[in-house]
């Protein structure tokens, strides 16, 4: 359309006529009326230029028809475009959700592998934590939640290291208490023979050993 209008403007400039008036003639639907107004507007046009005008008329007609049809279908086309966009967004959301589930599962497995003592903490449901984490979309995370997660991620490793060090210290103290119990003098003045603590086997858990040692003291 722009190319055809430019050609019409060139012809209008050549014969010093209003280009808008020439465009109006080209846009008419009635061929007879086009002929009459074109003769009035360009009475001195050469046969070559008239041929150019007629060619523009032939080329511009299907373009105008196509434009009119596009205008008529604009609402339907907009609805279709919105529907396609919604489908793409839904597909992208489903893909991202699946990706989050896979990543979260791998992270939880890695954490449990590195921190096996988590399984023994009462009330800690790693399955529920995994489910909630996989359902959280980081792209819509509230700034407060984002800041909290960032701070927790930096604090957590330090807390874990401190906890593990405390466990080692408690185990060491438990062993020393056990040695003290075994070395306590008997009524005869002889030390007690090494024996297992009452009710505690060699395969007892760490908590059972601690409880037994503290109970003996």
Ranges of each domain in the chain: 2-72, 148-217
Handedness of CA 207, 115, 160, 123 (dihedral sign): negative
Torsion on CA atoms 48, 51, 52, 53, rounded to nearest 10: 130
Cα–Cα distance, 217 to 215 (Å, whole number): 5
Cα–Cα distance, 24 to 37 (Å, whole number): 10
| Most distant pair of Cα atoms in the chain: their distance | 143
Mean model confidence pLDDT for the chain: 81
Secondary structure (3-state) at 105: helix
Cα–Cα distance, 139 to 73 (Å, whole number): 36
From first to last of the 217 residues of the chain, give the pLDDT tens digit.
889 889 889 999 998 888 888 888 888 878 888 888 888 888 888 888 888 888 888 888 888 888 888 888 888 888 888 999 999 988 888 888 888 889 999 988 888 888 888 887 888 888 888 888 888 888 777 888 888 888 888 888 888 888 888 888 888 888 888 777 666 555 445 544 444 444 556 566 666 666 665 554 4
Tokens (6 digits) for 5: 């209008």
Closest CA to 42 of 17, 25, 60: 17
Instruction: Provide the total of helices (H) and of strands (E) in the chain, helices listed first.
Output: 8, 0
Cα radius of gyration (the chain): 44
- Residues in Cβ contact with 105 at an 8 Å cutoff, skipping those fewer than 6 apart: 130, 134
């Amino acid at each position: 359309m722009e190319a055809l209008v430019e050609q019409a403007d060139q012809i209008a400039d050549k014969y010093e006529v209003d280009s808008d008036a020439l465009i109006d003639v080209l846009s008419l639907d009635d061929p007879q009326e086009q002929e009459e107004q074109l003769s009035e507007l360009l009475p001195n046009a050469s046969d070559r230029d008239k041929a150019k005008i007629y060619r523009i008329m032939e080329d511009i007609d299907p373009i105008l028809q196509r434009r009119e049809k596009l205008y008529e279908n604009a609402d339907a086309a907009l609805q279709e475009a919105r529907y396609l966009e919604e489908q793409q967004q839904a597909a992208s959301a489903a893909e991202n959700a699946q990706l989050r589930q896979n990543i979260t599962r791998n992270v939880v497995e890695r954490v449990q592998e590195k921190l096996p003592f988590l399984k023994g903490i009462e009330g800690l449901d790693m399955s529920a934590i995994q489910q909630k984490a996989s359902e959280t979309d980081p792209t819509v995370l509230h700034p407060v939640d984002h800041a909290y997660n960032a701070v927790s991620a930096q604090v957590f490793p330090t807390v874990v290291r401190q906890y593990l060090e405390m466990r080692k210290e408690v185990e060491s103290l438990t062993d020393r208490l056990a040695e003290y119990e075994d070395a306590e003098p008997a009524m005869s003045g002889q030390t007690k023979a090494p024996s297992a603590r009452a009710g505690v086997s060699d395969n007892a858990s760490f908590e059972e050993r601690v409880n037994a040692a503290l109970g003996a003291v």
